[in-house]
Amino acid sequence: MSALPGSAEGTAVTGLDSSPVQPAPADLPPLTEQTRLEAREIMARYPQPRSALLPMLHLVQSVQGYVSPEGVALCAEELGLTKAEVGAVATFYTMYKRRPTGRHLVSVCTNTLCNVLGGQRIMDALSADLGVHHDETAADGSVTLEHAECLAACDYAPVVTVDYEFYDQQDVESARELVAALRRGEKPHPTRGAPLTDFRGVSRQLAGFSQYADEVEAAAAVDAPWQAGPTLIGVHLAEERGESAPPMRGPGAQPADAGEPRETVRPSGRTGQSPGEEAADARVAAADSPAEKAGAAGSHPDAPEPAGRRLPDGATGTDTPAGSEPGTSGQGPGKA
């Protein structure tokens, strides 16, 4: 069955919006000779020019705010592809927009972890404030809103990105304030990474053109102070407990005893210990590496309770502080 973009079958098969690329609005800035020259500059980076299609589509978005029919035609002409081939790529990836975008693209993660911590409530609140739904642009042209699948920042859930820059541990109020600031023309600094530009600016970066004069300026902008707290909690716990991962073996390397059957240690019941304790002792004795020994010791019935995450005085560690809305859980620290 055909699943071509825009086909009824495609919509039925995928359940997704497969609407075709939207015609150009009257006030769209044209693609210029400079755009064409920059497209050729991108093509020259690759042994096979058609490999340049993805950054070329970002280049088109950096000028016009979406992949317009004119942009599809330019890419097809330069690469010797058909418009259908370019359109098939442009409509496959969600980062290529089929309708003109606002000045900023706000993406709200509504995937599993963000959702249980309030992602959908954030999406609903922003949708109401802006008067738009998924993949629609506010009437003032300031913001295009979309829901997003996992943004690979689950340890900072719920996450919102603006022009692909991260705003971590949001809640309904902080996300509403963020979007209100964007509509006032402000650019609140992301929680980490590079300073905010706008959708066309970040599209130009994705096309491979830096917004910074040189590498020193780029490093100074991107290397902002950032504490990777939630990401490193597991590492710090492992350090406290003396745990470490087993050493990595090189590709194809076999353990020294590969192929030889391991001796099975069965509890004898002769030591006065329970069979479970005997088996646990045997596992500790048979462990090859410090990491395996630590793991076996940690699961021994006589092992002390792990220290666990340090909590503030008086905290039980069993509850997340409730948010202000009925039925909400806490959603990370409040914003200053």
Residues that bind ligand FES (CB under 6 A): 109, 111-114, 150-151, 153-154, 157, 159
DSSP annotation of 79: H
Alpha-carbon Rg for the chain in angstroms: 27
Closer to ligand FES by CB, 7 or 120: give it: 120
Closer to ligand FES by CB, 53 or 148: give it: 148
- Could you tell me the smallest distance in angstroms from the CB atom of residue 314 to ligand FES? 30
Closer to ligand FES by CB, 86 or 151: give it: 151
- Could you tell me the smallest distance in angstroms from the CB atom of residue 172 to ligand FES? 16
What b/e string do you get for 59-86 counting C-beta neighbours within 10 Å, with b at 16 or more?
bbbbbbbbbbebbbebbbebbebeeebb
Closer to ligand FES by CB, 32 or 112: give it: 112
- Could you tell me the smallest distance in angstroms from the CB atom of residue 233 to ligand FES? 16
Closer to ligand FES by CB, 10 or 118: give it: 118
**Planar angle of CA 267, 271, 272, nearest 5 degrees:** 110
Which residue reads 């509403």 in tokens?
Answer: 176
How far is residue 296's CA from residue 284's CA, in Å, rounded to a whole number?
A: 5
- Could you tell me the smallest distance in angstroms from the CB atom of residue 151 to ligand FES? 4
> Which among 19, 32, 17 is positioned nearest to 70, based on CA atoms?
32
- Could you tell me the smallest distance in angstroms from the CB atom of residue 171 to ligand FES? 14
Cβ neighbourhood burial of 261 (10 Å; 0-12, 13-18, 19+): exposed
